[in-house]
């Protein structure tokens, strides 16, 4: 059994801007794949091509084995959860949820029954008689969810469904979507710019930039083994150090910057000796050194510049040189004072080096494998 949703070389242009540049992606049955990227990266365009709101300039879109590229939206049998909820303001909650059934000719009694069942699934029992405007934002999005699942569509698309909700509700709804997916096993594409959302919800993530998928993989792969500088930079808020590659062996590359040396994991496309390079360091791989560093750690000198109390921890801004500052979160058991000089240990496994070509992004397109 092949992929449930397949994008084949999908191209979409707006004038001179290429919003989707030969997009390839395959989503398996029951899988949730996230399109992750900053605004303008083409993820929403890709989604709108799948819903049929936009017609791609090139390529094919295949849903459940059927080429739907030329099929109008209302015949694609998809469910969409919208960012702004997009509920029908003149219909009650039950009628909103029942609308997909109504247009499919389901009789009113059965429609009502199934709408109420869908509302129960999103834990909105008893609110069916209300109008959308009488509900909170979180409740409205639950109605949106219920409306998307009620007719058991082949695929469900999520278009930044949580970004109009406040932080607390966002967590709650994230849980809700995850548990619904476990129970119903739907296939979905989820569009977001929020990396935490993507990492926690997805089976796989496709990181996008400038209409191109940079990397597709499980959240742990994307986070732990970014293939391009962009992916490394975009996820996990890493520290960065730019310098020159001074040593390259089978398992590590060493980059020197302002007299400090840092070792990073070697990959096939890591920089060659003498090349300018950037190293991304995961904050959780950095610690304050006490005693000697182990073989797989680099030692760096830094000065404490600023501290910010965050409640459960304190974040320190550390200066490695005039132009490089890192951030580091520490439990309250370790206290640093501003102005103090410290030795840092950076675990090699948390460091990735990328060659810096003429432009900082140059290395990124090379790894743009978008196979699924």
Partner 1 sequence: MTAVAVAAGARIRPRVGPGLSRLITYTFLLAFVLYVLSPFLAILVTSIAQDWFGGRILPGSLTLRWFDWAFNVTNLPGVMANSFIIAGLTIAISLVIGIPTAWALGRRHVRARNVLMTLILLPKTVPPITFALGLSREFYSFDLVDTHLGVALAHTTLALPFVVLIMSATFAGLDERVLEAGRVCGGNWFRNLVHLVLPMAMPGLMASVLFTFVTSFNEFTLTLVTYGPDTLTLTVQTYLAIGDGFLEVASAISVVLLVPSVILLLLIQRQIRPENILGGVKGL
Task: By CB under 8 A, name the binding residues for partner 1.
Answer: 51-53, 72-80, 82, 84-91, 99-100, 102-104, 131-133, 135-137, 140, 147, 151, 164-165
Shortest Cβ distance from residue 118 to partner 1 (Å)? Answer: 13
What count of other Cβ atoms lies within 10 Å of the Cβ of residue 318?
25
Shortest Cβ distance from residue 117 to partner 1 (Å)? Answer: 17
Q: Whose Cβ is closer to partner 1: residue 99's or residue 230's? A: 99
Q: Whose Cβ is closer to partner 1: residue 177's or residue 266's? A: 177
CB neighbour class for 168 (10 Å; exposed up to 12, middle 13-18, buried from 19): exposed
**Angle subtended by helix axes 93-102 and 108-121, to nearest 10:** 120
Shortest Cβ distance from residue 129 to partner 1 (Å)? Answer: 16
Q: Whose Cβ is closer to partner 1: residue 87's or residue 232's? A: 87
What is the side-by-side strand order in the sheet with 286-288? 286-288, 341-347, 297-309, 314-319, 325-330
Q: Whose Cβ is closer to partner 1: residue 166's or residue 362's? A: 166
List, in order, residues 6 or more apart from 16 with CB less than 8 Å away. Answer: none
Full DSSP string of 148-174? HHTT--SEEEEESTTTTS-HHHHHHHH
| C-alpha–C-alpha distance, residues 272 and 260, integer Å | 18
Q: For residue 4, which of 189, 191, 203 has the smallest C-alpha distance?
A: 189
Q: Report the relative pairing of strands 187-192 and 78-81 from DSSP bridges.
A: unpaired
Shortest Cβ distance from residue 80 to partner 1 (Å)? Answer: 4
Q: For residue 189, which of 322, 66, 28, 331 has the smallest C-alpha distance?
A: 28
Q: Whose Cβ is closer to partner 1: residue 106's or residue 355's? A: 106
Half-sphere exposure of 200 (CA within 13 A, CB side): 14
Q: Whose Cβ is closer to partner 1: residue 6's or residue 159's? A: 159
Shortest Cβ distance from residue 322 to partner 1 (Å)? Answer: 42
CB 264 within 8 A of CB 279: yes
Calculate Rg over the CA atoms of the chain. 24
Q: Whose Cβ is closer to partner 1: residue 151's or residue 190's? A: 151
Shortest Cβ distance from residue 309 to partner 1 (Å)? Answer: 31
Calculate the alpha carbon distances from 206 to 22, 150, 193, 371 in Å: 14, 27, 11, 10
Shortest Cβ distance from residue 91 to partner 1 (Å)? Answer: 8
Shortest Cβ distance from residue 88 to partner 1 (Å)? Answer: 6
Three-state DSSP class for 246?
Answer: strand
Q: Whose Cβ is closer to partner 1: residue 151's or residue 354's? A: 151
């Amino acid at each position: 059994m092949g992929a449930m949703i397949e994008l084949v070389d999908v191209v979409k242009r707006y004038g001179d801007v290429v919003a989707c540049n030969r997009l390839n992606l395959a989503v398996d049955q029951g899988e949730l794949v996230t399109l992750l990227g900053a605004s303008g990266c083409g993820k929403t365009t890709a989604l709108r091509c799948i819903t049929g709101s936009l017609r791609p300039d090139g390529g094919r879109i295949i849903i459940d084995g059927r080429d739907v590229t030329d099929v109008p939206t209302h015949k694609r049998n998809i469910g969409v959860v919208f960012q702004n909820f997009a509920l029908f303001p003149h219909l009650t909650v039950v009628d909103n949820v029942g609308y997909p059934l109504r247009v499919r000719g389901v009789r009113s009694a059965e429609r009502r029954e199934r709408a109420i069942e869908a509302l129960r699934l999103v834990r909105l029992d008893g609110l069916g008689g209300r109008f959308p405007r009488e509900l909170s934002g979180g409740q409205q999005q639950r109605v949106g969810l219920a409306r998307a699942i009620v007719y058991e569509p082949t695929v469900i698309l999520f278009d930044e469904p949580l970004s109009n909700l406040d932080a607390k509700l966002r967590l709650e709804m994230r849980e809700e979507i995850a548990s619904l997916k476990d129970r119903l096993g739907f296939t979905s594409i989820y569009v977001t710019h929020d990396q935490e959302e993507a990492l926690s919800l997805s089976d796989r993530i496709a990181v996008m930039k400038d209409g191109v998928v940079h990397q597709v993989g499980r959240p742990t792969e994307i986070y732990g083994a970014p293939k391009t500088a962009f992916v490394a930079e975009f996820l996990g808020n890493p520290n960065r150090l730019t310098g020159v590659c001074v040593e390259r062996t089978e398992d590590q590359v060493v980059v020197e910057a302002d007299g400090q040396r840092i070792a990073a994991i070697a990959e096939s496309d890591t920089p060659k000796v003498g090349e300018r390079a950037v190293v991304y360091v995961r904050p959780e791989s950095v610690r304050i050194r006490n005693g000697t560093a182990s073989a797989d750690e680099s030692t760096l000198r830094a000065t404490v510049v600023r501290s910010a109390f965050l409640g459960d921890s304190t974040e320190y801004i550390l200066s490695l040189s005039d132009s490089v500052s890192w951030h580091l979160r520490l439990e309250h058991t370790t206290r640093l004072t501003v102005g103090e000089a410290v030795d840092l240990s950076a675990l090699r496994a948390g460091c990735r080096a990328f060659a810096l070509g003429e432009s900082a992004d140059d290395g990124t397109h090379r790894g743009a494998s978008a196979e699924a």
